[in-house]
Structure 1
Amino acid sequence: MPFSIQLHSARLFPPVTDHLPRLAALGYTNVEPTDSLYGDPAALRESLDESDLTALSGHFPLHLLEDDPDAACRIAETLGMRLVVCPFVPAEARPAATDDWRRFGDRLAAIAHLLRSRGFDFAWHNHDYEFRPLRDGSMPIQHIAADPAVHLEVDIAWIALAGMDPQPWLEGYAGRIAAVHVKDVAPRGSRADEDGWADVGTGIVPWPKLWKAAIAAGASLLIAEHDNPSDFDRFARRSIDAMRAFAAMTNGEPAAR
């Protein structure tokens, strides 16, 4: 099965591409880049090919997807991506009221339909704010995903930090979940030097059951991530060991797409 890792986790240990051979040696076969690595897509593709790694998905900023979708598609095509992910909306541009979130959902739907016409899937990557109720009781995620063309890259740990159980959301959006970020949360009050995050399998997120739920919901990419590891190699090593264990315990492999 393809074990994947988000290269955002390595940003504090540059150059990021120097880690690719080690990731391949650990058993990763796929990585998820972010826009900080797109300065020379052809060179990045060469580095990936040298380590026999793919980049089936990647993060792209909202402004690029709206203002220059042709450039985004060229990058995705060069890197061999099939899934284009928008990772967040900056706080200063974030909707507040329900109607604002509805309009934001319309913007994402337009991106999704355009990318689909170019042969790419599109997904929104969540944080915690999408799962905090608005005044009318709805949640931003419901407006973000109002159009079925908008798929989801579900960040399980952020849902948990919003105080929600991730499993019902996985089940509720089954068939529209393109990818899942496999991220863990440290016990309260620990790992302050890592902003409260944990290596996969060492925190409080019940990953064995959620791994199985993610696969049942249709996720074909399960991507290890840590937002602030103090040791990237340690995180990568522990996390792939944990993911292998989850897969063995659940007999779960990502669904083919």
Structure 2
Amino acid sequence: MEYGLQLFSVRDVTERDMEGALRQVAEMGYRSVEFAGFFGHSAQEIKGWLDKYGLTASGTHTGMSELTGDKLQETIAYHQAIGCRNLIVPYESFATKGEIDAFIQRVQQVEPQLNAAGITLHYHNHDHEFKPNQDGLIPEEELLTRTNLLLEVDTYWVYAAGKDPVAFLQEHKDRIRVIHLKDGKGGDACASLGQGIAPVAQVRQAAIQLGLEMVVESEGLEPTGLEEVRRCMDFLRSEDQKDGN
């Protein structure tokens, strides 16, 4: 199986040595990366390193602030230059109906321009989207019913919200292209894949059956980001062997 990596997992390296981070995760066996910032590097630099180490850009975590005014066209051009077709909004608070409405309005404004450029807009969840906000609305339900956004499902946060991540993937498979394969110990406590309480093996199997791209995220930096994502890959290769892959 092929797996991608959310580079926030190795944020202790990327800010000071992006090329080194890309080289090392490629050597571990990751085949794609999802960016969490470019740290001043040009699109040409990033694309050169991706090509050099046999990686592709699965997606980027890009805030809505980068999709306003002149920044929108700059963001589109950067994504096209690095060959990235998935732009993922990483977080919104959605604390009130007004915040949800404003987000949806902005999505409706920018999504046609992104789509015309060959870029698909996604939203990455945490756990608060599955709980009532100050106005009693469930943000995830609002996004599902009022937008055409694809969902980048962070499967650990779905689990932490008290939901069954496998059932959620199956129910909403038509709105999902990419998932975060992630583990944890409850709440904000991080864990490498297979070291926490989330049903990671079952989520992996469901993703394979549904044909979803799997992007690993492991946030603990214990003892370093690279060591943590190496443990994650070791777990995944063990699961691959069980499947005969």
Same fold (TM over 0.5): yes
Q: Which moved further from structure 2: 242-251 or 13-22?
A: 242-251
Q: What SS class does the counterpart of residue 11 from structure 1 fall into?
A: helix
Alpha-carbon separation, structure 2, partners of 1:147 and 1:162: 21
Match of 1:209 in 2: 202
- Which residue identity does 1:222 align to in structure 2? M
The TM-score normalised by the length of structure 2 is 0.87
Q: What SS class does the counterpart of residue 229 from structure 1 fall into?
A: coil
Alpha-carbon separation, structure 2, partners of 1:158 and 1:247: 24
Match of 1:54 in 2: 56
Q: Which moved further from structure 2: 177-186 or 107-116?
A: 107-116
Q: What SS class does the counterpart of residue 84 from structure 1 fall into?
A: strand
The TM-score normalised by the length of structure 1 is 0.83
Structure 1 unpaired stretches of 5+ = 189-194, 253-257
- Which residue identity does 1:164 align to in structure 2? K
- Which residue identity does 1:98 align to in structure 2? K
1:226 to 218, 221, 230: 218
1:88 to 88, 91, 97: 91
Alpha-carbon separation, structure 2, partners of 1:249 and 1:111: 44
How far did residue 112 of structure 1 move? Answer: 2.6
Alpha-carbon separation, structure 2, partners of 1:135 and 1:187: 24
Match of 1:74 in 2: 77
Change (3 A) 1:150 1:247: farther
Change (3 A) 1:232 1:96: closer
Per-residue CA deviation, residues 208-232 of structure 1 (Å, 9 max, x unaligned), is 211122344442x211112231222
Alignment of 1:246-257 (within 5 A): 246-249=239-242
Alpha-carbon separation, structure 1, partners of 2:5 and 2:103: 29
How far did residue 120 of structure 1 move? Answer: 1.2
Alignment of 1:89-128 (within 5 A): 89=92, 94-98=93-97, 100-128=99-127
- Which residue identity does 1:63 align to in structure 2? S
How far did residue 51 of structure 1 move? Answer: 0.9
CA-based RMSD of the aligned residues comes to 2.4
